[in-house]
């Protein structure tokens, strides 16, 4: 029953409990559709295929907690998150490259150093994505723009004590994330 429903894209009563064996069926039934969904938004077939692959990796990683009864709705939700991440990373990379273009040619880092920096920026971006929008904004206002707690509070329309909480949350998240990456 589930196979026929997934093949037609109508969903069914599969649920998360069935997910272990059904992920392969989900992949076969919806990979082409999902790749096309990404391709329409990116106009790059290789990027579309990579992001579709990433979506299925997320399904596999979280299959025990996912409801697979409406696969296209689930895949669309995952795909939208991946697309947002993709565009945010792209904007970050472009900003970094634009700064490099303005730099004195004698101080431009090597290609390897630039690749390492871009990788580090992507990692920090992933860590910051764990924060709420206001906590992330408070952290960036503080660390990049050098605003005081009172200025951040005014910009975010929250109290100074709330700004302190946001900053503590951001630092705790970044600290925890840094521990995850250490051997």
Which residue pairs, CB below 8 angstroms and at least 24 apart, start in 96-100? 96/121
H helical segments located in the chain: 2-8, 19-42, 45-62, 71-102, 111-128, 133-143, 149-156, 160-181
Per-residue pLDDT, 168: 94
Domain range annotation of the chain: 2-110, 130-183
- Mean pLDDT, residues 51-62: 88
List the one residue out of 171, 81, 57 whose CA is nearest residue 124: 171
- Mean pLDDT, residues 42-48: 90
Whether the pLDDT of residue 64 is over 90: the answer is: no
The secondary structure of residue 15, as a DSSP letter, is: T
> In which band, very low, low, confident or very high, does the pLDDT at 19 lie, cut at 50, 70 and 90?
very low
| CATH number for domain 130-183, candidates 3.40.190.10, 1.10.8.100, 1.10.10.10, 3.40.50.300 | 1.10.10.10
Per-residue pLDDT, 61: 82
162-178, pLDDT tens digit by residue?
Answer: 999 999 998 898 888 77
130-150, pLDDT tens digit by residue?
Answer: 888 888 889 888 988 889 999
Mean pLDDT is lowest, of 1-5, 100-104, 146-150, 179-183, for: 1-5
The dihedral of CA 122, 43, 41, 7: what is its sign? negative
d(Cα 85, Cα 126) in Å, to the nearest integer?
8
Third-level CATH fold of 2-110: Rna Polymerase Sigma Factor; Chain: A (1.10.1740)
Per-residue pLDDT, 143: 86
């Amino acid at each position: 029953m589930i196979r026929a429903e997934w093949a037609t894209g109508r969903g069914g009563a599969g649920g998360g409990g069935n997910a272990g064996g059904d992920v392969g069926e989900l992949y076969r039934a919806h990979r082409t559709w999902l790749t096309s969904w990404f391709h329409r938004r990116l106009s790059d077939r290789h990027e579309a295929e990579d992001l579709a692959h990433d979506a299925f990796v997320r399904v596999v990683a979280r299959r025990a907690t996912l409801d697979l009864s409406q696969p296209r709705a689930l895949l669309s939700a995952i795909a939208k998150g991946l697309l947002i991440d993709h565009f945010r990373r792209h904007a970050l990379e472009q900003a970094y490259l634009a700064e490099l273009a303005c730099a004195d040619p004698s101080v431009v880092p090597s290609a390897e150093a630039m690749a390492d920096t871009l990788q580090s920026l992507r990692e920090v971006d992933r860590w910051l994505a764990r924060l709420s929008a206001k906590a992330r904004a408070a952290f960036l206002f503080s660390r990049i723009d050098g605003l005081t707690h009172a200025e951040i509070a005014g910009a975010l329309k929250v109290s100074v004590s709330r700004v302190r909480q946001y900053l503590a949350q951001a630092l705790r998240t970044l600290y925890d994330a840094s521990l995850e990456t250490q051997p």
